[in-house]
Amino acid sequence: MKTVFKTTGGKDPVKESSTSYAAGDVIFRQGDLGTEMFIILDGEVNIVKHINGESHDLSHLEKGDFFGEMAVLESVPRTADAIAATDVHALVINGARFDEMLRKNPEVAVRIIRKYSKRLREANTLLERLVGREVDSEHGSLDATVSAPSEKQGRHRLVDITTGAEFFFSKADETTIGRADPVTGILPDIDLTTVDANRSVSRRHAKIIRSGHDYCILEEVGTVNGTYVNEQRIPTGTPVTIHSGDGIKIGLIAMKALFT
């Protein structure tokens, strides 16, 4: 493990540092005391929870995701293992730096709340799966309550009409749309920075939600320049169903939804 401290002028280098981990390294273990959170600059991290002697994968994190924030927010022991799935380069943020980030950019707090909401849904899914296993084991069958999204679904995309650039949906149930955030390093699933010369797209502009075989788009709270489906402005916070071939306008970026 190699740690590189960033220094700017007379700032304390301990406040903000970047750390590298090799694939397989344990970044921290469940039960460890911690005072720092991490933002992934490059690589992938698995979060693993130990329950009654069994290990359960809670989430697979990628570039732009953060983890370990509970230790900073609540000063509690780590609730799961964080293991480098690949070589990882991460920004390490202690309590003082985190407090400074919140004071200068309150939107960071909003994004953490959104992340917690998503993680709560993932935890509920895990709980349902575990309960399903217990019920099914009485009948000698394996749990089949949760199915992985198919590769075919992963090829659904938005196509920029001007440049022809393709932006693929996430394989998860939600696909975030926006622009890269240089403050936190967090990236949306569909990053429109390269085609948004006028900066008309909000950092967290909208998201596409999958429910079974259906898809809808929802504009995030705080979006400035609007979201349109077939030239109709959609209301903030209200999901609107989309189909293959529909025109989708994110800010000033005209796109087309293509499902394959």
Q: What's the CATH class of domain 153-258?
A: mainly beta
Look up the CATH superfamily of 2-104: Jelly Rolls (2.60.120.10)
pLDDT recorded at residue 203: 87
For residue 211, give both structure tokens: 């429910």
pLDDT recorded at residue 48: 92
In three-state secondary structure terms, 28 is strand
Is-above-0.75 flag for pTM?
A: no
Cβ atoms of residues 10 and 69 within 8 Å: no
pLDDT recorded at residue 256: 97
pLDDT recorded at residue 141: 38
pLDDT recorded at residue 51: 82
Q: Tens of pLDDT along the chain (260 residues)?
A: 444 434 344 444 334 578 999 999 999 999 888 888 898 999 999 999 888 888 888 888 888 888 888 777 776 788 899 999 999 999 898 877 877 777 777 776 677 777 766 666 666 666 666 666 544 444 443 333 334 444 444 489 999 999 999 999 988 888 999 998 765 566 889 999 999 999 999 988 999 999 888 999 999 887 889 999 999 999 998 899 999 999 999 999 999 999 98
Q: Which DSSP state fits 155?
A: G
Dihedral of CA 94/82/86/175: which sign?
negative
Cβ atoms of residues 40 and 87 within 8 Å: no
Helix 107-137 to helix 95-104 angle (10° resolution) is 120
pLDDT recorded at residue 132: 61
Where does CATH 2.60.200.20 sit in the chain? 153-258
pLDDT recorded at residue 184: 57
Cβ atoms of residues 253 and 200 within 8 Å: yes
Report strand pairing: 240-242 vs 88-94: unpaired
Where does CATH 2.60.120.10 sit in the chain? 2-104
